[in-house]
């Protein structure tokens, strides 16, 4: 794995970790960053984008986080990301 890929994986792991913490003010920025990373990597759909590959192990955790979130824009953004992950890995 290249250094760039390792950094991307570490960043995504950190963002998911933030979603499991009690500080809900970190949720929206973390999800926005995830969305940006996913969008930036989906210029070609000939293979699964790396951010989605690296997020695969976190799918169940993301669903757990979603269940605990209060209704609103942050929960909808989380649902969007979970939906993309689910579509890619079915």
Per-residue model confidence (pLDDT) at position 78: 96
Residue 32 within any structural domain of the chain: no
Residue 58 within any structural domain of the chain: yes
Measured distance CA(51)–CA(68) in Å, rounded: 24
Residue 81 within any structural domain of the chain: yes
Residue 8 within any structural domain of the chain: yes
Domain count for the chain, please give it. Answer: 1
Full domain range(s) for residue 75: 1-17+48-90
Per-residue model confidence (pLDDT) at position 49: 79
pLDDT above 90 for 15? yes
- Which position has the token pair 């929206």? 28
Residue 33 within any structural domain of the chain: no
Per-residue model confidence (pLDDT) at position 2: 86
pLDDT digits (tens, 9 = 90+) for 17-55: 999 999 999 999 999 999 999 888 766 556 677 888 899
Residue 13 within any structural domain of the chain: yes
Neighbours of 29 (CB within 10 A): 12
Cα–Cα–Cα angle for 55, 43, 76, rounded to 5 degrees: 50
Residue 31 within any structural domain of the chain: no
Per-residue model confidence (pLDDT) at position 79: 97
pLDDT above 90 for 71? yes
Per-residue model confidence (pLDDT) at position 66: 96
Residue 28 within any structural domain of the chain: no
């Amino acid at each position: 794995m290249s250094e760039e890929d390792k950094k991307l994986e570490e960043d995504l792991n950190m963002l998911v970790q933030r979603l499991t913490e009690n500080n809900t003010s970190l949720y929206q920025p973390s999800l926005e960053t995830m969305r940006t990373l996913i969008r930036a990597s989906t210029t070609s759909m000939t293979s699964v984008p790396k951010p989605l590959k690296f997020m695969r192990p976190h799918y169940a955790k993301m669903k757990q986080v979603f269940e605990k979130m209060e209704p609103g824009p942050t929960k909808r953004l989380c649902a969007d990301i979970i939906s993309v992950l689910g579509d890619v890995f079915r």
